[in-house]
A and B are shown apart, each in its own frame.
Chain A
Amino acid sequence: MAHALNLDIAAPIAPTAGAAPVHEVVLVVDNMHCGNCMRTVEQALERLPHVESARVNLSAKRVSIRTRGAASAIEPFIVTLADKGFQAKPLVEAAAQRTGMFDANLLRRLGVAGFAAANIMLMSVAVWSGHAGDMPASLQTLFHWLSALIAVPAIAYAGTPFFASARQALAAGRLNMDVPISLGVLLATAMSLFQTVRGSEQVYFDAAVTLLFFLLAGRGLDQAMRARAASAAENLLGRRASTATAKFADGSIRPVDVSAIVPGMRLVVAAGDELPVDGRLVAGGASLDEGIITGESKPRQVGVSDIVHAGTIALSGPFEIEAIAVADNSLLREIARLMQTAEQARGRYVRLADRAARLYAPMVHILGAATFIWWLLAGAGWEAALTSAIAVLIITCPCALALAVPAVQVVATSRLFRNGIVLKTADALERLAEIDTVVLDKTGTLTLGRPELLETAAITDADLACAAGLAVQSRHPYAKAIVGAAQRRDVKSRVPEDVIEHAGAGLEGHSGGDAVRLGSAMFCDAVDRDTDRAPLWFRCGNQPAVALPMTDQLRSDASATIRALQANGYAIEILSGDNAQEVSTAARTTGIAQWLAAQRPEQKIARIDALQSAGHRVLMVGDGLNDAPALSAGHASLSPSTATDISQMAADAVFQGERLAPIVTSLAIAKMARRRSLQNFAIALGYNVLFVPLAMAGHVTPLIAAVAMSASSIAVTLNALRMSIKTQEVPS
């Protein structure tokens, strides 16, 4: 391991002759929100030596740094940004490729289709008005030829994504939406070319190109939403801890890559570190926050030869562990495996537009074929019959499905985004709309996930001042709670002298000649050793020990959110890994009748599966590592941004802030999006009911086709955009 940390993911970019090679590093900076943040980040980085340039992409929440010279470690960048108050983390290498939200390839095709559609329309309008006036046939033919000259190459270029997808579907023996689209466009173009050669009036170049333009716009919006979700998911991946501190046989202590850890290796864990692998404690005592795995709110005391798990957080330290598994084999991976299995069920979800397409595509073909055969039988000749059939294909072309649903979803996603809810999967919005049951985790989800001192009259200001003075020395959540309580009471903490930490027991110091102790009941020699009453005690000199009971505070709007969900008809349940007493208290306070305590991850999955096989659609809201498999198992899932990385990765959406209201907001916006999509289907259906009979009867001229198609596309888009204007429908 030659480098200080194995984090240098810098890739060399085309080294120019003579000059030092340029490297590029991409960091994820989640808390950039505005132009000021952007400028601060760029300027701070550009002041560093070797940095050639730093450019922020605010949409992607990433900054790309170009350095000149040897590939430098990224640690200095992260430290520099941390000084300015930004949390940066490296991006996983594979994700660094794409930066833009829009697919440039689709946009280029959209631009070409737009150019062609506008110019052909210019000539088509002239031809149509010429029908009423005195345009000579020769001029009309000239315009048709000019249209053909623009349309044919434009269709060949802009239509490629549809043609390719249709060919794939047909090769696999399936029908998708692109089959009728390709058939309609290609038949219309070929027929129009034929009619142009013959000098006829039935030319559909404008319809074919405009169709492609609308469809490409829809596809572009759909792709933009997926890209945004994928980029949010990639940003989360960057958070995985990737180094650990190893102690070698010769006594030296060096950082190693997590993937290089082998069983038997000695690792040093400092307070605040996340354990990289499962291991056995070999030296020191520690207190571990295992909430991430068990959901238990109380830290666990571990001593020599106890087994500790990857993903738990050391609250005191340092201590040494001996790895008993490789990183890939630890409990963390076991949880990941459970998640993958649970996720497969969700992978089978079929999106609304695709479900509609399954019905729609065969119907379009049957209608087109029926029209052709009907006119042939009626003796109209193959030309007239084919023209009518093409008109049917053009009229039924699925603009509503292809444009309106993506438009609705983009508007809904950006509304969620404004409310601090980041969607990570593209179809999550549709799944959220189908939810009827909400299952919540307790620790960290209903509650803030950090202990607070339960104020009692027995705790005097003087005791609290002294206890807080001891507590500031420790990173233990109970210690933080004491410091917080002292601040709330406005008590100035009195720092004792020569404070020492007894691992796994507590803190000791001297104040005014008296020995003061803060720690377990045993450590403080409490008279009644009822540790259930309080996990933390304080003793000053010879006075009796004072109990410092702790509670995990509910989120400020927990009860209000539950009431709002109940009022909207959702069934609510708590599924917690914590003990029955804690869970029942939380359930009673928030007014939830149904709760299950002491649930292991498998049991959580089993409960959710049981609910879903009973016909319910479950929204899982959770934050701990133990919730991750359940988050994957639910029909949809949410997690707070304070959740563990793996839970945030498992969840469909992540919400920010200390409030639970985003649950209500996201469900409401998802339902509204669904309502809008269905409305748009209705608009499209109404338009088809009106024009398909006309087309089948052979009355749809190129002019009517153009007007009807544009009108319906604009109608559904406007209906989608209406959602971003109306704000009163959704509580936020």
Chain B
Amino acid sequence: MTALAWLVPIALFLGALGLAGFLWALKSGQYEDLDGAGWRALDDSAEQTLPTRDETKNPPGLP
């Protein structure tokens, strides 16, 4: 039964982690455009917010 002393807090902590993740996603506007988000995930063009790829080491089109 002593296992419960740490299992219950861990369960609650993991649940709270999920909740915090959801609230963060909500706050950062990820639920505002569900249709658009699906397309953005497929967009290959480099966005300004992302670091640009090092073209010399990894030229486009070559694995």
Contacts and interface: CB of A to CB of B under 8 A. Distances in A.
A101 B45 contact: no
Chain B interface extent, by class: 20 to 34
B11 to A, nearest CB: 6
Interface stretch (A105-113, A207-215, A635-643): A105-113
Given A57-B33, A101-B32, A115 B18 contact: yes
Given A39-B45, A99-B32, A119-B15, A58 B26 contact: no
Contacts of A471: none
A115 B45 CA distance: 37
Interface string A96-133: 00011110100110011011001100110000000000
A111 B23 contact: yes
A119 B22 contact: no
A436 B34 CA distance: 36
Most buried by A among B22, B32, B43: B32
A277 B62 CA distance: 63
A60 B1 contact: no
Nearest to B34: A59
Contact of B8 (A38, A115, A118, A146): A146
A18 interface: no
A59 B35 contact: yes
Contacts of A104: 26-27, 31
Interface string B30-63: 0111111001101101000000000000000000
Interface in A67-120: 99-102, 104, 107-108, 111-112, 114-115, 118-119
B11 A119 contact: yes
Nearest to A61: B35
B32 A58 contact: no
- Where chain B touches its partner, the secondary structure class is helix
A115 B1 CA distance: 25
Interface string B1-27: 100100010011001101100110011
Given A111-B26, A118-B15, A119-B15, A59 B36 contact: yes
Contacts of B35: 58-59
Contacts of A108: 23, 26
B15 to A, nearest CB: 5
Interface in A28-42: 34-35, 38-39
A26 interface: no
Nearest to A135: B1
A22 interface: no
Contacts of A102: 31
A206 B29 CA distance: 31
Given A122-B11, A139-B1, A38 B36 contact: yes
A388 B8 CA distance: 31
Interface string A37-60: 011000000000000000011111
B22 A111 contact: yes
B34 A101 contact: yes
B27 to A, nearest CB: 8
B11 A35 contact: no
Contacts of B12: 119, 150
Given A35-B42, A139-B1, A57 B36 contact: yes
Contacts of B42: 35
Contacts of A34: 39
Nearest to A98: B32
Given A38-B39, A39-B43, A115-B16, A59 B33 contact: yes
A107 B33 contact: no
Given A111-B23, A122-B11, A56 B36 contact: yes
Given A100-B29, A119-B11, A112 B19 contact: yes
A410 to B, nearest CB: 12
Contact of B15 (A60, A115, A146): A115
A509 B17 CA distance: 79
A58 B16 contact: no
B32 A100 contact: yes
Contacts of A115: 15-16, 18-19
B32 A57 contact: yes
A56 B22 CA distance: 23
Nearest to B39: A35
A123 B18 CA distance: 18
Nearest to A112: B19
Contacts of A38: 36, 39-40
A58 B31 contact: no
Contacts of B33: 56-60, 99-101
A35 B40 contact: yes
Contacts of B40: 35, 38
Interface of A: 34-35, 38-39, 56-60, 99-102, 104, 107-108, 111-112, 114-115, 118-119, 122-123, 139, 146, 150
24 contacts: A34-B39, A35-B40, A35-B43, A38-B40, A39-B43, A57-B33, A58-B35, A58-B39, A59-B33, A59-B36, A60-B33, A100-B33, A101-B31, A102-B31, A104-B26, A104-B27, A104-B31, A107-B31, A111-B19, A111-B22, A115-B18, A139-B1, A139-B4, A150-B12
Given A108-B23, A115-B16, 17 more contacts: A35-B40, A35-B43, A38-B36, A39-B43, A56-B36, A57-B32, A57-B36, A58-B33, A59-B32, A99-B32, A99-B33, A104-B26, A107-B26, A108-B26, A114-B19, A119-B11, A139-B1
